[in-house]
């Protein structure tokens, strides 16, 4: 799945986070590293999910939360239970929006923001203060604009002021490449095999609490002592 398609799914609210998982803890420098890896085409690991039956979300709604508080009105769209890599999903959403509402480790709502810009001179993404961008607008380009496909590269450059046509052509081609590297980046979504988490209903009873416990164990195993379990271990 390309990053552009993943962004659509994230904003549709299809990803559900089990309440047993920790809140969003990544710091902004980690998000910078993530997007520099994406830009350079480096692997960033797999997002591990379970494509769960709709009944699970309607019956056990209190066991799940949306990725961000901004997506609370879209919980009816829940489809995938995120077993691992909530941090990357939220980082991608934060970069796209620039600011989101999340829960902290105490369960309180707070805002997270990031000023992430592409530095043309260094060919990397960096955390840049607004005043620095204003001083040298042709050097810095916001990832919020680069990931917003409703805004063309021409639109982005038109807001930078007058420039020579040769410079405009150069910048346009360069920013098209930057955008293409981002939105066409292949994100690996690993779907837990059906046999590993099989939802069954027998009369009025189901086995979801057993499945939820298994999901919790998977999350712990994936993150225990910094050792990540590989996909084949789920079979």
Phi-psi region at 107: left, alpha or beta (left = phi > 0; alpha = psi -120 to 50): left
Q: Answer whether 3's CB lies under 8 Å from 184's CB.
A: yes
Give the CA-trace dihedral at 149, 152, 153, 158, to 10 degrees: -140
* Confidence label for 159 from pLDDT (cuts 50, 70 and 90): very high
pLDDT in tens, 189-200: 999 988 889 999
Question: Residue length, the chain?
Answer: 235
pLDDT of residue 224: 66
**Range of weakest confidence among 127-141, 149-163, 217-231:** 217-231
Give first-to-last CA distance, the chain, whole Å.
23
Structure tokens at 3: 């990053």
pTM (two decimals): 0.90
Asked if the model's pLDDT at residue 161 lies above 90, the reply is no
The neighbour count for residue 159, using CB atoms within 10 Å, is 9
Is pLDDT at 229 greater than 60 in this prediction?
no
d(CA 124, CA 117): 8
81 Cβ contact list (under 8 Å, min separation 6)? 16, 18, 49, 50, 52, 56, 64, 215
Residues 45-86 have pLDDT tens digits of 999 999 999 999 999 999 999 999 999 999 999 999 999 999
pLDDT of residue 203: 78
Q: Which residue matches tokens 């001083």?
A: 135
Neighbour tally for 95: CB within 10 Å: 25
Cα four-point dihedral sign 34, 38, 41, 47: positive
Helix axes 28-40, 165-183, angle to 10 degrees: 100
């Amino acid at each position: 799945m390309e990053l552009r398609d993943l962004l659509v799914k994230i904003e549709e609210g299809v990803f559900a986070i089990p309440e047993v998982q920790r809140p969003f803890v990544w710091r902004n420098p980690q998000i910078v590293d993530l997007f520099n890896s994406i830009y350079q085409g480096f692997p960033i690991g797999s997002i591990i999910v379970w494509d769960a039956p709709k009944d699970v979300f309607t019956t056990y709604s209190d066991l799940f939360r949306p990725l961000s508080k901004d997506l609370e009105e879209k919980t009816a769209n829940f489809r995938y239970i995120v077993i691992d890599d909530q941090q990357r999903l939220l980082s991608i959403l934060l970069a796209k929006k620039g600011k989101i509402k999340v829960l902290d480790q105490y369960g309180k709502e707070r805002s997270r923001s990031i000023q992430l810009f592409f530095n043309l001179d260094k060919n990397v993404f960096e955390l840049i203060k607004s005043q620095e961008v204003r001083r040298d607008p042709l050097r810095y380009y916001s990832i919020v604009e680069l990931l917003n496909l409703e805004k063309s590269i021409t639109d982005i450059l038109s807001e930078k002021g007058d420039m020579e046509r040769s410079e405009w052509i150069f910048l346009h081609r360069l920013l098209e490449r930057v955008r293409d590297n981002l939105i066409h980046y292949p994100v690996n979504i690993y779907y837990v095999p059906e046999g590993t988490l099989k939802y069954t209903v027998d009369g009025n009873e189901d086995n979801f609490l057993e499945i939820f416990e298994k999901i919790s164990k998977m999350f712990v195993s994936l993150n225990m002592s910094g050792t990540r379990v590989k996909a084949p271990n789920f079979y």
